[in-house]
Structure 1
Amino acid sequence: MIKTEIQEMPTTWRCGRFLFDFSKRKRPIVMGILNATPDSFSDGGQFQVAKDAITQAEHMIANGVDLIDIGGESTRPGAEPVSLQEELDRVLPVIEGLKDCGVPLSIDTYKAETMRQALMAGVDCVNDIWALRQEGAVNAVLENINCGVVLMHMQRDPVTMQFNPEYQDVIAEVKQFLKERADLLIAQGIEHDRIAIDPGFGFGKSLEHNLNMLRHFHSFSELAFPVLAGISRKSMIGKITGKDTNERVAPSVAAAIMAADRGAMIVRVHDVPETIDALKLWEAVNT
């Protein structure tokens, strides 16, 4: 297990109605991906109907998922935005069906009004690829005194982010961005223990940038927030293995374990049962 010198590690993460206590758990939080979209890169169209999405969520819950991340708009490279109403029509029925499911729910959105309505409907966390930089997003979160927040780094936007991304030092630049965003939110009244950070694998990064971030993932923990690793089935895995998205389960699980070894406290995954089984073994070895 890779060790790193950390001045201060988070002991809790407040997520709406739920509190994750890292002092009482060995393995990372498993965040299950639930895309109520027709065009997400891996599972687009599979759970576009609310009842199918709810069934998939129930399957994840039965297999031990810790948190379910609901999305109504694809943010894959080159994705075009959808209207506010279309996003709401996709996610609100799913939230309604799951709000009392017993595990926290997250809304994967950058739109302030979607955040606001999703929080009112019962979600516990906002997961934002724009790190609350869109108009009204900070206020939407400030209106809810308990919700968790995941701030992600992205270079440019989903349409252009993979057009020759460049960094002088990807680790330093991503860390600086995340620190600045977190400090800004804390200054505006969002408590430290509500914030998690995500370096944003695949969001404005080349293969080498992604590998460098995974190789040195422990560095992000130095910011003293829970760090999320979202690598599941992404193109970096396809470039290395030559496999299509649905054939990337094994390397995705391996990537989650590598991230856990390097300090990830949250892993965002498509393949919940496989990831949890692997983390159980990881936990047994590291106990």
Structure 2
Amino acid sequence: MGVVNVTPDSFSDGGRWFDADAAVAHALELAAQGADLLDVGGESTRPGAARVPVDEELARVLPVVRRLVDAGAAVSVDTTRASVARAAVEAGAVLVNDVSGGVADPEMAAVVAGTGAAYVAMHWRGHADVMDAHDVYDDVVADVRRELAERVDALRAAGVRDDQVVLDPGLGFAKTGASNWPLLAHLPELVADGFPVLVGASRKRFLGHLLAGPAGRPVPPAERDDATAAVSALAAAAGVWAVRVHEVAASAAAVRVAAAWRRAASTGPVGTGTTTEAGRATVRVGHAAGRTPGPEGVR
């Protein structure tokens, strides 16, 4: 999943793709590099970010979604608002990526149920301006799994089918630093809960702190892509459904390596050709999901 931030203030590339023409060109470049889904968002969720009016979010997102769909791309919309989700799906988006898991807007579940779109429910405890205060867990892995299960129950109650749902542990959201690593280390447990899993570690601050120099200063977002690709490889090896990244090429290669590794582990040695095909099949998972109402067929 390639990140397309149509915002002036995203933490990693704010403003670079704010113009619709620039956003579309960037998105198509990500697709050429191996992105199977293009995740278009019009509101920054960086720590401390203020919300934008819904009309502004719609004005940023919809032209880009329409043009990418017209170009034949599989598009997801990154939003917590039901009205934006509905409009984007009507414009051709095939997946709604909601960092609030339906908590921010009580109408979201009904929209997802009504449209039949695939839906990413992320673990979330509050909007960007307050989320850091909620980084308090008894056991972060158990707590996140339990809270995601509660979101699934709420979605089911609203009529959302299980085969529409993808879960996301919400790295960096109400998780400022060390809380992220146990979630990554225990991804197989989240995968075993039975839903496809999306991981969004790309360029996040916990990677910046990991790579900090002797003075303790975190490296800037653009210098976190190698670490992001390492997470992509490990996450894919753990069986996740997709990784959401800003820089696609390295993570696409990492996913192919992990796919070959998993195939060899389950079937024995493979030749060069088989390894390549295994990698390609995994890289295309998101694209396949985008062509169906939900991710059921590509688990």
Q: Same fold (TM over 0.5)?
A: yes
Equivalent position to 2:113, from 142, 160, 165: 142
* Structure 1 residue 164 displacement after superposition: 6.0
Are the counterparts in 1 of residues 110 and 158 from structure 2 also a CA contact under 8 Å? Answer: no
SS at the partner of 1:69? strand
Equivalent position amino acid for 1:264 in 2: V
Equivalent position to 2:244, from 246, 253, 268: 268
Q: Residue 268 of structure 2 aligns with which residue?
A: none
* Structure 1 residue 263 displacement after superposition: 2.2
* Structure 1 residue 187 displacement after superposition: 2.9
CA RMSD of aligned residues (A): 1.3
Are the counterparts in 2 of residues 129 and 151 from structure 1 also a CA contact under 8 Å? Answer: yes
Distance 2:252 2:195 in 1: 22
Distance 2:34 2:156 in 1: 32
Distance 2:111 2:7 in 1: 23
Equivalent position to 1:219, from 189, 202, 212: 189
Q: Work out the number of aligned pairs and report it.
A: 256
Q: Deviations over 1:111-141 (max 9, x none)?
A: 1111111111111111101111213112222
Distance 1:268 1:45 in 2: 19
Distance 1:200 1:77 in 2: 13
Q: Residue 182 of structure 1 aligns with which residue?
A: 152
Q: Residue 11 of structure 2 aligns with which residue?
A: 41
SS at the partner of 1:190? coil
Q: Residue 82 of structure 2 aligns with which residue?
A: 112
SS at the partner of 2:3? strand
SS at the partner of 1:143? helix
Equivalent position amino acid for 2:74 in 1: P
Pairing of 1:153-232 with structure 2 (within 5 A):
153-163=123-133, 165-232=135-202
| Farther off after superposition, 163-172 or 88-97 | 163-172
Distance 2:220 2:36 in 1: 27
Distance 2:240 2:262 in 1: 14
SS at the partner of 1:88? helix
Distance 1:165 1:279 in 2: 30
SS at the partner of 1:285? helix
Distance 1:208 1:262 in 2: 20
Distance 1:111 1:186 in 2: 19
Q: Residue 284 of structure 2 aligns with which residue?
A: none
Are the counterparts in 2 of residues 164 and 206 from structure 1 also a CA contact under 8 Å? Answer: no
**TM-score between both structures, scaled by the size of structure 1:** 0.86
Q: Residue 95 of structure 1 aligns with which residue?
A: 65
Give the structure with the higher percent strand: 1
SS at the partner of 1:283? helix
Q: Deviations over 1:210-241 (max 9, x none)?
A: 01111111111122000111000000000010
Equivalent position to 1:67, from 21, 27, 37: 37
> Could you tell me the percent identity over the aligned residues?
39
Distance 1:102 1:178 in 2: 33
Q: Residue 4 of structure 1 aligns with which residue?
A: none
Q: Residue 296 of structure 2 aligns with which residue?
A: none
| Residue segments in structure 1 that go unaligned for 5+ positions in a row | 1-30
* Structure 1 residue 199 displacement after superposition: 0.5
SS at the partner of 2:244? strand
**TM-score between both structures, scaled by the size of structure 2:** 0.83
Equivalent position to 1:86, from 45, 48, 56: 56
| Residue segments in structure 2 that go unaligned for 5+ positions in a row | 213-218, 264-299
Q: Residue 256 of structure 2 aligns with which residue?
A: 280
Distance 1:54 1:156 in 2: 30
SS at the partner of 2:243? strand
Distance 2:237 2:34 in 1: 20
Q: Deviations over 1:40-65 (max 9, x none)?
A: 00011011000101101111121221
